[in-house]
Amino acid sequence: MGDQTVPAKGNVLGSLVPARYVLAVLGSIAMAIIYGLKVNLSVAMVAMLNHTALAHGSTPAEAKEHVDAEPVCQGSSNSTEAVEDGPFVWSEPVQGMILSCYFWGYLVSQVPGARVAESFSARWVMFFSVLINVVCTLLTPVAAKLHYVAMIVMRIGEGIGGGVTFPAMHVMLASWAPPNERSVMSAIVYAGTALGTVISMLMAGVLAGTLGWESVFYVMGGLSCLWMVLWLWLVQDTPSKQPLISQEERDLITTSLGSGSSSGHNEPKPPVPWRKVFTSAPFYGILIAHVCNNWGWYMLLIELPFYMKQVLQFNIKENAVVTAIPFLTMWFFSMALSKTLDALRSRGKITTTIARKTATFIASAVPMVCLLALCYIGCQRGLAVSLMTIGITAIGGMFCGLLSNHIDIAPNYAGTLMAITNTAATLSGIIVPIFVGQITHGNQTIGAWRVIFFVTIALYVVEIIAYLLLASGEEQPWNKGDKPASSIEAAEAEATPLNTKESKQNYNGQEQ
């Protein structure tokens, strides 16, 4: 079924705010919900565990060996007010399994979800993604009390829903974002992951400390239901399907994307040219960077609350605040960086390739240096918090860096490419909690965490080298599918070649 242009209804959205930014904001809230419902367990689990029983579970010999090897940091004077004991005696390996099993579901749903989004409706894929997460979140307290295996089932369900979000939003952005606004719109959408992390960690800390750990899941799951109503009301798959849009904005988007009013969407997309994708250097640049960056991202996203608790001895409320603040600064930084890079690109000062490489370099080099410093500052809590804040803030560069790059090189397959690289990167989310759980089992010391940080630093080095050497911001020839070269040239001749100043430069510089 092809798209049919729906008449604009009196500039309903256009008179207030552009429809494409309504999509971006609601997309950002969707990502915030998905990430919020993902990370709330990392905070809530601190209140769910019986730390006294777990501490007594290690043998005296193990305890003496680790105390002799390296003393644990002393907490603040008020951190002794609570060793927040909950009902569950889950060992570190079990904790790691519960946290990592989210990514088992996340791993398997991405590529099928991307193909459904590209072939049918990304809007409905996003809706069901949030719906699944809300249902599983509301059932989590019951599942936890039944058995940790039931917890694993709920987390896998959330992962299945969460896995399709990035591919589906890439499909939406490819249809809605003019090329010269792509960095900003992508940053708005994907920075929702940081905003969701902030809100979730703060809410989870306050709720767990005041109303009990069960309230974390009931309150946050319930509040997320409002988004589903707004999404179905205000968002459509393409501008041509959106009745709540001005004709001027619809023309601006479709013309800049070279799709006309609706004809560009009537043509079915060619099959994915798998061989060309998997022999493309720019694709591998994104793939390697995504895998390595995700390791650092999940290390900080999932494990930071445990480092704050185990090593720096923050209590539950301190933990939530100190862990959440860096993700708020990340949100502001990602907005500022994306706007700056788009402004430089629109003025012809830098190319898309330079913009993507600059953002990705910041997102990897700065946290790498901060983790290296963290290995040697010992128990200086104030300095540790400052370093983690700077490092997490800089990771925001990935939203307008490598995460936007799929749309640059192949907008027709942006969802599929994101699904492929994010599936590979999801392995980091599976391995990180298990890896940390094994390293810190009975050994919750700075020395153990130093090993964890050095592994992360090494992967950041790999990311920097691979992305700087292989990445590109230019559309690749295989974006047109497996058509012969003559067909591609003919199609390009019919399309509008001057969508952005960068494409103007490339077009004018071509030798005929």
Domain ranges for the chain, please list them: 16-55+83-258, 272-479
Residue 159, classed as helix, strand or coil, is helix
> CA 116, 122, 128, 130: dihedral to nearest 10 degrees?
130
Here the tokens at position 355 are: 């913009």
Q: What's the pTM?
A: 0.71
Q: How far apart are the first and last CA of the chain?
A: 38
Render each residue's pLDDT in the chain as its tens digit; 512 residues: 445 555 555 455 556 788 999 999 999 999 999 989 988 887 788 788 876 776 665 544 444 444 444 545 665 444 444 445 778 888 777 887 888 788 888 888 988 998 899 888 999 999 999 999 999 999 999 998 898 899 999 999 999 999 899 899 989 998 998 888 888 898 899 888 878 877 887 888 888 888 888 899 999 999 999 999 999 999 999 998 888 888 888 888 988 887 543 333 445 667 889 999 999 999 999 999 999 999 998 887 667 767 777 777 766 566 667 767 888 888 889 989 998 998 898 888 999 999 999 999 999 999 999 999 988 887 787 888 888 889 989 998 998 899 989 999 998 898 899 999 988 988 887 788 788 888 887 777 778 888 889 999 999 999 999 999 999 999 999 987 655 444 444 444 443 333 444 444 443 443 33
Answer whether 16-55+83-258 and 272-479 agree in fold: yes
Q: DSSP secondary structure string, 324-373?
A: HHHHHHHHHHHHHHHHHHHHHHHTTSS-HHHHHHHHHHHHHHHHHHHHHH
Fold of the domain built from segment(s) 16-55+83-258:
Growth Hormone; Chain: A; (1.20.1250)
CATH 1.20.120.160 fits 272-479, yes or no: no
Tell me how far apart the alpha carbons of residues 62 and 443 are, in angstroms, rounded to a whole number: 8
Contacts of 238 (CB under 8 A, 6+ apart): 3, 175, 176, 265
Q: Which residue has the tokens 């999940």?
A: 298
Helices 213-223 & 122-146 angle (0-180, nearest 10): 160
User: Strand, helix or coil at 310?
Assistant: helix
β-bridge mates for residue 88, sequence order = 49
Closest CA to 34 of 172, 131, 123, 121: 131
Q: What is the pLDDT of residue 261?
A: 38
Contacts 24+ apart (CB under 8 A), 201-204: 201/39, 201/40, 201/42, 201/43, 201/305, 201/320, 201/323, 201/324, 201/327, 202/320, 202/321, 202/324, 203/36, 203/40, 204/39, 204/40, 204/43, 204/44, 204/320
Q: At what angle do helices 182-190 and 316-346 cross, to 10 degrees?
A: 170
